Amino acid sequence: MKRTFFQRLSRYYLLFTGGFGCFLLALAMLEKEGMPRVWIGYLFMLATITLYAFIGLVSRTSNVAEYYVAGRRVPALFNGMATAADWISAASFISLAGTLYLHGFDGLAYILGWTGGYCLVALLIAPYLRKFSQYTIPDFLAARYGGPHHGRIVRMMAVAATIIVSFTYVVAQIYAVGLIASRFTGVDFSVGIFLGLASILVCSFLGGMRAITWTQVAQYIIILIAFLMPAIWLSAKHGGNPVPQVAYGKLLPQLSAREHALQHDPKEQEVRRLYQQRAAGYAAKVEGLPGTWDAGRFDAQRQLDAVKQRNGTLLEIRQAEKTLLAYPKTVEEAAEAWEAARRYYEQRALPPVPHAEPFAASSAQASDIKRNNFLALVFCLMVGTAALPHILMRAYTTPSVHETRVSVFWTLFFVLLIYLTIPALAVMVKYDVYTAMVGSKFSQLPTWVSYWANVDRAHPLISIADINRDGIVQLAEIAFDGDVLVLATPEIAGLPYVISGLVAAGGLAAALSTADGLLLAISNALSHDIYYQTVDPHASTQKRVTISKLLLLAVAFIAAYAASTKPADILSLVSAAFSLAGSTLFPALVLGVFWRRATRQGAVAGMAIGFLVCVYYMLHTNPILGGNAAGQWFQIAPVSAGVFGVPAGVLAMVIVSWLTPPPGKDVLALIDHIRTPEA
């Protein structure tokens, strides 16, 4: 029976992949016939969202086990695929390659951290959760640390942690959905958000975990095709080998040689010197405040008057007016703006960082700090991965403990198909830019440059300006935003627009699949753990599922509203969510399985202290949150707060557990049960 279920699934998804291939081919042909670009964007959006809605509709359910854990019958391979889609967020798909492009070796912390965490999931948590066989993460913690009120305190804390962690994350996903939709179809950002919201809802609203699982498998296939196609193309073009993971080994030394040459190129040095001068100019202006502010304002005003007096063209007058309008309104504002400009130009004046060199820095000490931060970040991302509720929730959906272990293997396998390509893609695009674009004429820049430069005028994704006015592009004259790299790769590689649409659809799938999982994690925590377990334990199964669906709807709308306000602060906090998850949930989860002596009081103390230490460190050191970088401990960046939070949580848990009476008989029996092999 299981075998046939597996075979049936395989047939469906093979058919789906074939159908998707035909769809691509058809679009490519239509593009050749002259179909306008924006139509391709529309068609991709429409087709993929209809597909997700269709799967969601087919998988609708009101059965509790189906709704919460997909009936516990998802085969390991498919569970792995679904978890991989759950995992590969908009950040992984869109931003990670760009981060590697910009930071070289130091960006690999994300690659290492976001894959190594699965070792912890597989070895320490997932199989035991499956043996426990309930519905949510708070379920496990409440049973393990149960007390007089069925572990109500522990359950509430776990629910709170789940919601805090998942909510910041889901807002970022919905934000990305809005961004991609608006860029590729030209609709307004907030319309894009609500389009995305609709497609998230059709899938998770009707069928819960069951619908999400089968949609995510389809989404993973789209993510994979979308990510690999341009990479394979580039790899065949530059490496002479269609396997990007192998080919870029050959390119890396060539890239290093090119970097070395560019570092000593006189034209490059000239541009960097010009930046240095601009930075010095702003430094002098800041130095001379408030006098310079007055002088600058007079200057701008005089310029406008002069243009008006000599009857300049309307365009010139507009320009002068704009300059005057943009001029800082107060001395404080001027100080801030000029200081930022100074920092920006100083940054631009730096020579390129060698891509493959670990922890490049001017002094050995600075290099050590970079290394320590790299290690700290890797640690936080790994531990955080092993404590993210929407990933752990998936341990419940397989038919057996063994299948759960195998499913984590498949998860990492499918994640690696993407994650091994990301560093390759970064190197190949960099090679392309360094060899083809640098040194070309400004008059012959490819069209995609101006296209992407104009997408977001406030924060240009690409800016290329002829700083030294020699008509030739220098490396120092190019500024890339990390987010544009993957989206622009098809055009950089010279592929037809249909591939760009495909990549956008892939990014959309990555964001939607992650958002689905996160929303379900939040609404399950609310409906199962708060409503059913705490408020109304006698609720009928029908009522439970209905409540869950309503809560999902509510959470989705709140998240979409939060995303539509474009909260830059929340977005920068997404990586911090890993530190929070790790510090709060990880010690309680792992010690709960591996240490019989861990007590309820210990778990409460551990979760509270871990959370507080983590939050304190972020508030204390993150400038966005009103902290000060000077307060850092051991020069560790605030994003890695978990490096202090996790040990603090473990320590608190151990000490308090020792000081309190050992857990009762029923808890020990539960521990024995989850450790014993399955019958």
Among 49, 137, 406, 461, binds another protein (CB under 8 A): 406
Query: Could you say which DSSP state residue 441 is in?
Result: B
Contact between 666 and 146 under an 8 Å Cβ cutoff? The reply is: yes
* Contact of 157 with 580, CB cutoff 8 Å: no
Identified binder of another protein from the candidate list 98, 127, 208, 384, rule CB under 8 A: 127
Nearest alpha carbon to residue 195 among 181, 211, 176: 181
Out of 24, 81, 122, 525, point to the residue binding another protein (CB under 8 A): 122
Q: Which of 538, 550, 418, 546 is nearest to 486 (CA)?
A: 418
Identify the residue among 54, 189, 413, 616 touching another protein (CB under 8 A): 413
Helix axes 152-185, 497-524, angle to 10 degrees: 160
Q: Which one of residues 52, 87, 105, 345 is an interface residue with another protein (CB under 8 A)? A: 105
Among residues 92, 115, 185, 219, the one that binds another protein under rule CB under 8 A = 115
Q: How far is the CB of 676 from another protein (least distance, A)?
A: 6
What are the angstrom distances between the C-alpha of 233 and each of 27, 368, 471, 486? 18, 38, 30, 13
- 49, 159, 383, 408: residue in contact with another protein (rule CB under 8 A): 408
- Judge residue 236's burial from the number of C-beta atoms within 10 Å of its C-beta, 0-12 exposed, 13-18 middle, 19 or more buried: middle
Comparison of 246 and 326: residue with beta carbon closer to another protein? 246
Residue 412 binding another protein, by CB under 8 A: yes
Q: Are 235 and 424 in contact (CB under 8 A)?
A: yes
Name the one range near another protein by CB under 8 A: 34-42, 107-115, 330-338, 530-538: 107-115
Q: Does 358 bind another protein (CB under 8 A)?
A: yes
**Of 30, 35, 124, 608, which lies in the binding site for another protein, with binding defined by CB under 8 A?**
124
Smallest gap, in angstroms, from Cβ of residue 412 to another protein? 5
CB of 268 to another protein, least distance (A): 23
Confirm or reject binding of residue 333 to another protein (CB under 8 A): no
Exposure letters 3-16 (e unless 16+ CB within 10 A, then b): eeeeeebeeebeeb
Among 81, 82, 84, 108, binds another protein (CB under 8 A): 108
Q: Residue 270 is which amino acid?
A: E
By CB under 8 A, which span of 17-25, 46-54, 283-291, 355-363 interacts with another protein?
Answer: 355-363
Separation in Å, CA 534 to CA 156, 272, 545? 9, 63, 16
How far apart are the C-alpha atoms of 583 and 517, rounded to whole Å?
21
Peptide bond into 244 cis (omega under 30): no
Q: Report which secondary-structure segment, H or E, holds 176.
A: helix 152-185
Select from 119-127, 163-171, 487-495, 551-559 the region that touches another protein (CB under 8 A): 119-127
679 belongs to the binding site for another protein (CB under 8 A): yes
Please report whether residue 101 would count as binding another protein according to CB under 8 A.
no
The answer for residues whose C-beta is within 8 angstroms of residue 155's C-beta and 6 or more apart is: 138, 139, 141, 142, 529, 533, 534
Would you say 214 or 414 has its CB closer to another protein?
414
- The 216-255 site mask, x for binding another protein (CB under 8 A), equals -----------------------------xx--xx-xx--
597 belongs to the binding site for another protein (CB under 8 A): no
Query: How many Å apart are CA 580 and CA 592, to the nearest integer?
Result: 19
Binding mask 46-85 for another protein (x = CB under 8 A): ----------------------------------------
CB atoms within 10 A of CB 110: 22
Which one, 289 or 375, has the nearer CB to another protein?
A: 375
293-296 long-range contacts, Cβ below 8 Å, gap at least 24? 293/328, 293/331, 293/334, 296/327, 296/334
Candidates 146-154, 415-423, 482-490, 550-558; binding stretch for another protein (CB under 8 A): 415-423
Size, binding site for another protein by CB under 8 A: 47
Residues in the chain: 679
Alpha-carbon distances of 160 from 156, 165, 522, 602, 618, rounded to whole Å: 6, 9, 10, 18, 18
Q: Which stretch binds another protein (CB under 8 A): 149-157, 418-426, 604-612, 647-655?
A: 418-426
* 3-state DSSP assignment of residue 643: helix
Is 678 a binder of another protein (CB under 8 A)? yes
Q: Which residues pair with 462 in a beta bridge?
A: 480
Query: Exactly one of 6, 359, 442, 561 binds another protein (CB under 8 A); which one?
Result: 359
Question: Where are the alpha helices (H) located in 186-290, listed in sequence order?
Answer: 189-238, 244-263, 266-287
Q: Residue 25 or residue 420: which is nearer to another protein going by CB?
A: 420
Q: Rounded to the nearest 5°, which phi and psi values hold at 565?
A: -85, 5
Q: Could you say whether residue 371 binds another protein (CB under 8 A)?
A: yes
Q: Sketch the per residue contact string, 511 through 550, with another protein: x for CB under 8 A, - otherwise.
A: ----------------------------------------
Task: Tell me if 112 contacts another protein by CB under 8 A.
Answer: yes
Tell me: does residue 366 bind another protein (CB under 8 A): no
What is the distance between the alpha carbons of residues 562 and 559, in angstroms, rounded to a whole number?
A: 5
Q: Which stretch binds another protein (CB under 8 A): 6-14, 183-191, 399-407, 534-542?
A: 399-407
Element (H, E) at 478: strand 478-480
Output the smallest distance, CB 573 to another protein, in A.
25
**Alpha carbon distance 517, 166 (integer Å):** 9
By beta-carbon proximity to another protein, the closer residue of 176 and 381 is: 381
Question: DSSP class of residue 464?
Answer: E
676 counts as binding another protein under rule CB under 8 A: yes
Among 75, 192, 423, 602, which residue sits at the site for another protein (rule: CB under 8 A)? 423
Which residue has tokens 């990492």? 412
β-strand pairing of 478-480 with 462-464? antiparallel
Applying the rule CB under 8 A, the residues between 254 and 313 that interact with another protein are: none
Question: Which is closer to another protein, CB of 245 or CB of 263?
Answer: 245
Cα–Cα distances (Å) from 25 to 20, 21, 28, 656, 661, in that order, read 9, 6, 5, 63, 67
635 interacts with another protein by CB under 8 A: no
Could you tell me the smallest distance in angstroms from the CB atom of residue 327 to another protein? 46
401: contact with another protein by CB under 8 A: yes
Given 68, 118, 194, 431, the residue binding another protein (CB under 8 A)? 118
Are 126 and 404 contacting, i.e. CB atoms less than 8 angstroms apart? Answer: yes
Give whichever of 206 and 377 is closer to another protein, judged by the CB atom. Answer: 377
Give min distance, CB of 114 to another protein, in A: 10
Instruction: Give backbone dihedrals phi and psi of 641, rounded to 5 degrees, phi first.
Output: -55, -25
Q: Which residues bind another protein (CB under 8 A)?
A: 105, 108, 111-112, 115-116, 118-119, 122-124, 127, 245-246, 249-250, 252-253, 356-359, 367, 371, 374-375, 378, 382, 401-402, 405-406, 408-409, 412-413, 416, 419-420, 423, 594, 672, 675-679
